[in-house]
């Protein structure tokens, strides 16, 4: 077997390697944009905000309405994003319309902001976020910082 047979195999393996590197980079970019690192609540009563911080961006959501939700109930069709294990990241469509998802867990909080956009925030301690939002609605001020 001479070098003539090895050259085509080299180009096929190089092409496969480039495809794998491209896929891994796309997944990393989705993780950097949508995996919440910190979640915090500011404000009282009707003027409450949920801050969601990822590696790439920081969202300030002025909360109009919220409810406990499951990713299986809220997120049905992935429009743009990543669905990998329990991670549901990106833009989805479901019974509540278009929802931007920051979910690293199955259960979380569906938040509607002042402009009418919907966000699904789910992480390991999302019950603390829900309890804090309920206490803020009642007018009490709990400690409101969650590390994810």
By the 10 Å C-beta count (0-12 exposed, 13-18 middle, 19+ buried), 71 is classed as: buried
Residue ranges covered by each domain of the chain: 33-147
Confidence of residue 119 (pLDDT cuts 50, 70, 90): very high
**pLDDT tier at 144 (50, 70, 90 boundaries)?**
very low
The confidence band for 10, taking pLDDT boundaries of 50, 70 and 90, is: confident
Q: What is the mean pLDDT of residues 34-43?
A: 89
**Higher confidence at residue 6 or residue 92?**
92
Q: Residue 148: CA atoms inside 13 Å, Cβ hemisphere, count?
A: 24
* Model confidence pLDDT, tens digit, residues 40-81: 988 766 678 999 999 999 999 999 999 999 999 999 999 998
Which pTM value belongs to this model? Answer: 0.81
The whole-number average pLDDT for the span 5-31 is 90
User: Distance (Å, rounded) from C-alpha 132 to C-alpha 148?
Assistant: 15
Percent share of the chain, pLDDT over 70: 87
Which of 36, 48, 37, 35 has its CA nearest to residue 142?
48
Q: Note the pLDDT tens digit of each residue in 70-86.
A: 999 999 999 998 888 88
Query: What pLDDT does 3 receive?
Result: 66
Query: Contact 81/90 with Cβ under 8 angstroms?
Result: yes
Contact call for residues 106 and 87 (beta carbons, < 8 A): no
């Amino acid at each position: 077997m001479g070098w003539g047979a090895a050259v085509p195999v080299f180009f096929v393996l190089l092409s496969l390697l480039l495809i794998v590197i491209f896929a891994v980079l796309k997944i990393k970019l989705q993780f950097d944009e949508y995996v919440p690192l910190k979640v915090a609540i500011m404000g009282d009563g009707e003027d409450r905000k949920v801050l969601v911080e990822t590696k790439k961006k920081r969202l300030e959501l002025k909360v109009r309405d919220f409810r406990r939700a499951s990713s299986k109930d809220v997120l049905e069709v992935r429009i743009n994003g990543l669905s990998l294990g329990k991670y549901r990241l990106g833009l989805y469509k479901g019974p509540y319309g278009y929802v931007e998802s920051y979910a690293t867990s199955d259960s979380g909080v569906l938040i509607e902001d002042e402009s009418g956009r919907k966000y699904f925030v789910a992480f390991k301690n999302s019950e603390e976020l829900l309890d804090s939002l309920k206490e803020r609605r009642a007018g009490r001020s709990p400690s409101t910082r969650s590390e994810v």
